[in-house]
Chain A
Amino acid sequence: MQMTAELGVLAAVSCLTVLASLGVLLTKDNFYAALYMALTMIFVASCYGRFGLHPAFVLIAFVFVGAIGIVTVALAATYRKPPERQISPLWIAPSVITAAILGYSAFLWHAHSPNLSEIGFEMRDFLAPENILLVIFLISLVVLLVSAILRIYGREA
């Protein structure tokens, strides 16, 4: 019974994720599209929270939504233009066909899938020296990119 409730929670969050992503597609205004996108990403992070992967939730919510997502919302608000429908009817049919094929593949995978076990992820195991070095390199990459972008801006100005 408890497992059914957990599956129900995940199904609800998944439905909200898909609905928010459809909001991006169907809305005419870029500002609202950016807000729906941020909402989609929050729901994606919530899926990680559902499985107890809190470091992943924090990373997605703070780095991806908190930094990049909010900049996108600000950009959409700055470059606001008259709303217009941005959906190509010609691409709907190929998308639906692809969705059907992928859905069938997921069903087959479900039938012949490996045994999944409990998520026993511990942050302590991840904090090995090589992984810390990886994180330091990634932060350095971002800092270097920001510096390069600021320099390009300086030249453009």
Chain B
Amino acid sequence: MLLAGASSAVASSAVASSATAAQVEMSEASLIYATAFAVLLVAYLTAVSSKDLIRLLISLEMMFGAVFLALIPLFSLPAMQSTAFSILILTIFVSSSELLILIAAITIFDRRKRSIDVELVSEGGDKV
């Protein structure tokens, strides 16, 4: 319901929004990519170091944040602007759905195992 509310807010802002005309300089695009890489690497490091599922969830959200950042320069290619916005909307909705499932899985996992430690996750992945 919250998602639907936010979508209607976007639709209403869409009517009000006019054409944007911000120039993306190459240095700005490089800065955005560098920031995206930095956030992505911090998220990876958080994911591999995480001892509980909450920290894993947080790191996944940050990875999607890095993806959002990396999409900004796409908006500066004239032929790609609508496509870039479509990719952004797809990414936001699909990642939100994925994270929603993970949140539900964490609560169900805690109900069954009485813990949210990563070590207790026995399904999936490789065993060393």
A80 to chain B, nearest CB (A): 9
Q: Mark A63-82, 1 if CB is under 8 A from B, else 0.
A: 11011110110011001010
A25 touching B7 in the complex, CB below 8 Å, given contacts A18-B38, A53-B75, A156-B108? no
Chain B positions within 8 Å of A, measured between CB atoms, are 2-7, 9-10, 13-15, 17-35, 37-39, 41-46, 48-52, 54-55, 57-59, 61-62, 64-65, 68-69, 72-73, 75-78, 81-82, 84-86, 88-90, 92-97, 99-101, 103-104, 106-108, 110-111, 116
Q: Are the C-beta atoms of A131 and B86 separated by less than 8 Å?
A: yes
On chain A, the residues within 8 Å of B58 by CB distance are 24, 30, 33-34, 37, 72, 76
Which of chain A's residues has its CB closest to B108's CB?
A156
Q: Are the C-beta atoms of A113 and B49 separated by less than 8 Å?
A: no
A38 to chain B, nearest CB (A): 9
Q: Name 19 extra pairs, CB < 8 A, besides A58-B10, A75-B103, A138-B90.
A: A6-B28, A17-B35, A18-B42, A41-B65, A44-B65, A53-B20, A59-B89, A64-B92, A72-B58, A75-B54, A84-B51, A86-B51, A117-B24, A117-B78, A120-B19, A121-B81, A138-B94, A145-B97, A152-B108
Q: Are the C-beta atoms of A118 and B22 separated by less than 8 Å?
A: yes
Q: Identify the interface centre among A25, A47, A110, A121: most chain B CB within 10 Å of its CB.
A: A121
Q: Are the C-beta atoms of B59 and A72 separated by less than 8 Å?
A: no
- Chosen A-B contacts, 10 in total, with CB atoms closer than 8 Å, are A3-B25, A10-B31, A14-B32, A47-B72, A59-B92, A117-B76, A119-B21, A125-B81, A126-B82, A138-B90
Q: Are the C-beta atoms of A56 and B85 separated by less than 8 Å?
A: yes
A14 touching B21 in the complex, CB below 8 Å, given contacts A59-B6, A62-B9? no
A141 touching B65 in the complex, CB below 8 Å, given contacts A66-B6, A75-B106, A117-B78? no
On chain A, the residues within 8 Å of B7 by CB distance are 63, 135, 139
A117 CA to B74 CA in the complex, in Å? 10
Q: Nearest 7 CB-CB pairs, A to B?
A: A52-B20, A62-B6, A123-B14, A88-B49, A138-B93, A116-B76, A14-B35
Interface size on A, residues (CB 8 A): 89
Mostly, the A contact residues are helix
Chain A positions within 8 Å of B, measured between CB atoms, are 3, 6-7, 10-11, 14, 17-18, 21-22, 24-25, 30, 33-34, 37, 40-41, 44-45, 47-48, 50-56, 58-60, 62-64, 66-69, 71-72, 75-76, 79, 81, 84, 86-88, 91-92, 95, 98-99, 102-103, 106-107, 109-110, 113-114, 116-128, 131, 134-135, 138-139, 141-143, 145-146, 149, 152-153, 156
